Amino acid sequence: MKKIAILGSTGSIGTQTLEIVREQRDIEVTALAAGANAALLEEQIREFSPKLAALWEDGAAASLRERVKDLPVKVVSGMEGLLEIATMPEAEILVTAIVGMLGIRPTIAAIEAGKAIALANKETLVTAGHLIMPLAQEKHVPILPVDSEHSAIFQSLHGERENKISKILLTASGGPFRGKKRAELEMVRPEDALKHPNWSMGRKITIDSATMVNKGLEVMEAKWLFGVGLERIQVVVHPQSVIHSMVEYEDGAVIAQLGTPDMRLPIQYALYYPERRSLSGKRLDFFQLQSLTFEEPDLETFWGLKLAFEAMGRGGNIPTAYNAANEMAVSLFLEGKIQFLEIPELIQLCMEECSYVQRPTVEEILRTEAEAYELIKGRR
Same domain, 12 and 126: yes
Stretch 266-286: mean pLDDT, rounded?
95
Task: Give one DSSP letter per residue of 160-227, joined into a string.
Answer: -TTSPEEEEEEEE---TTTT--GGGGTT--HHHHT--SS----HHHHHHHHHTHHHHHHHHHHHHHHT
Same domain, 322 and 293: no
- Does 380 score more than 90 pLDDT? no
CB 81 within 8 A of CB 61: yes
Same domain, 49 and 162: no
Residue 114 lies in a domain: yes
Same domain, 238 and 252: yes
Please report the pLDDT score of residue 100 as a whole number.
83
Residue range(s) defining the domain that contains residue 292: 151-198+212-300
Stretch 308-331: mean pLDDT, rounded?
96
Backbone φ and ψ for 230, nearest 5 degrees, come out as -60, -30
Stretch 301-318: mean pLDDT, rounded?
96
Cα–Cα distances in angstroms (integers) from residue 316 to residues 231, 359, 364, in the given order:
18, 5, 10
Same domain, 134 and 86: yes
Stretch 157-165: mean pLDDT, rounded?
83
Residue 173 lies in a domain: yes
DSSP 295: B
| Nearest residue to 341 via CA among 159, 217, 213, 155 | 213
- Does 160 score more than 90 pLDDT? no
Confidence tier at 197 by pLDDT (50, 70, 90): confident
Confidence tier at 199 by pLDDT (50, 70, 90): low
User: Where does a domain end: 244, 271, 300?
Assistant: 300
Same domain, 237 and 333: no
Average pLDDT value for the chain: 94
CATH number of the domain encompassing residue 36: 3.40.50.720
CB proximity list for 289: less than 8 A, separation 6 or greater: 240, 242
Please report the pLDDT score of residue 200 as a whole number.
64
Same domain, 189 and 276: yes
User: Where does a domain end: 103, 126, 145?
Assistant: 145
- % of the chain residues with pLDDT over 70: 99
- Does 24 score more than 90 pLDDT? yes
Does 142 sit behind a cis peptide bond, omega within 30 degrees of 0 on the bond before it? Answer: no
Residue 307 lies in a domain: no
Same domain, 285 and 336: no
Same domain, 6 and 103: yes
Edge-first strand order for the sheet with 74-77 is 74-77, 52-55, 27-34, 2-7, 93-96, 116-119, 143-145
Residue 309 lies in a domain: no
DSSP 101: G
Please report the pLDDT score of residue 209 as a whole number.
92
Residue 205 lies in a domain: no
User: Where does a domain end: 300, 326, 350?
Assistant: 300
Q: How many domains does the chain have?
A: 3
Residue 308 lies in a domain: no
Residue 203 lies in a domain: no
Q: Is the C-alpha dihedral spanning 87, 361, 312, 250 positive or negative?
A: negative
| Nearest residue to 106 via CA among 316, 362, 321, 360 | 362
Same domain, 353 and 278: no
CATH number of the domain encompassing residue 374: 1.10.1740.10
Confidence tier at 205 by pLDDT (50, 70, 90): confident
Other Cβ atoms less than 10 A from the Cβ of 168: the count is 24
Please report the pLDDT score of residue 196 as a whole number.
74
Q: Where is 237: in which H helix or E strand?
A: strand 233-237
Please report the pLDDT score of residue 166 as a whole number.
94
Same domain, 181 and 262: yes
CB 122 within 8 A of CB 36: no
Stretch 100-125: mean pLDDT, rounded?
95
Q: Where is 349: in which H helix or E strand?
A: helix 342-353
Residue 206 lies in a domain: no
Same domain, 115 and 75: yes
- Burial of residue 285 (CB within 10 Å: 0-12, 13-18, 19+) is exposed
Residue type at 340? F
